[in-house]
Amino acid sequence: MRGGKLIIFSAPSGSGKTTIVKHLLNQPELNLAFSISATSRPRRGKEKHGEHYYFMTLSEFKRHIKDDDFLEWEEVYRDNFYGTLKKEVDRLWAEGKNVIFDIDVVGGLRIKKKFPDQTLAVFVKPPSVDELKIRLKKRSTESDDKINMRIAKASVELATAPQFDAVIKNYDLQTALDEAHKLVAEYIGVEIKGKK
């Protein structure tokens, strides 16, 4: 492991971090590539292996843990593991890219701890836990039980915000996108066109 910069976006589910990360990936001057996480959870909807996640069986995931193949991993919910494969980050660094992560809070902080000098860790804060619940319900991808589990977890995750390098309050999406763009550009040392 060596390479370029690592940009981490962490937040409770429904905070808008995925939307922000997608926006940043479309800014060519940032030279970003997305780190695809591995997971043991089943696919949802139109998710594709190798594009949205590296989908693995529970036993495959546990074998990778045993073989020390992960930069970080966590059992987010019972038997639902998520992790970042070392070879995924190496692959993107070999392409000369800065690596961007859309990752849970614990995983984000673990990477920051391992690479303190080359990591920008950003926490995306939702307007409120109530707003989070509304956003998760609008997705219509999960049962009420799963949503309630995510909401309970969100309260714990919100308490970790001070451990991050920066906090973006996603009360207004365009403002949050602009703030994220400026933050990442400054961190990697590029100027945004039309902005000084």
Structural domains of the chain, with CATH: 6-188 (3.40.50.300)
CB-based contacts of 88: which residues, under 8 Å, 6+ apart? 35, 36, 38, 54
Average pLDDT, the chain: 91
Asked if pLDDT for residue 195 goes beyond 70, the answer is no
User: Is residue 140 over pLDDT 80?
Assistant: no
Is the pLDDT at 177 greater than 70? The verdict is yes
**pLDDT tens profile 41-71:** 999 889 999 999 999 999 999 999 999 999 9
Query: Which has the higher per-residue pLDDT, 148 or 34?
Result: 34
Q: What is the mean pLDDT of residues 84-94?
A: 95
| Helix, strand, coil percent content, the chain, rounded in steps of 5 | 45, 20, 35
Rounded to the nearest 10°, the torsion over CA 137, 139, 144, 149 is -100
pLDDT-based confidence at residue 196 (cuts at 50, 70, 90): very low
CA distance 62 to 57: 9
113 vs 12: which has the higher pLDDT? 113
Q: What whole-number distance in Å separates Cα of residue 130 and Cα of residue 140?
A: 16
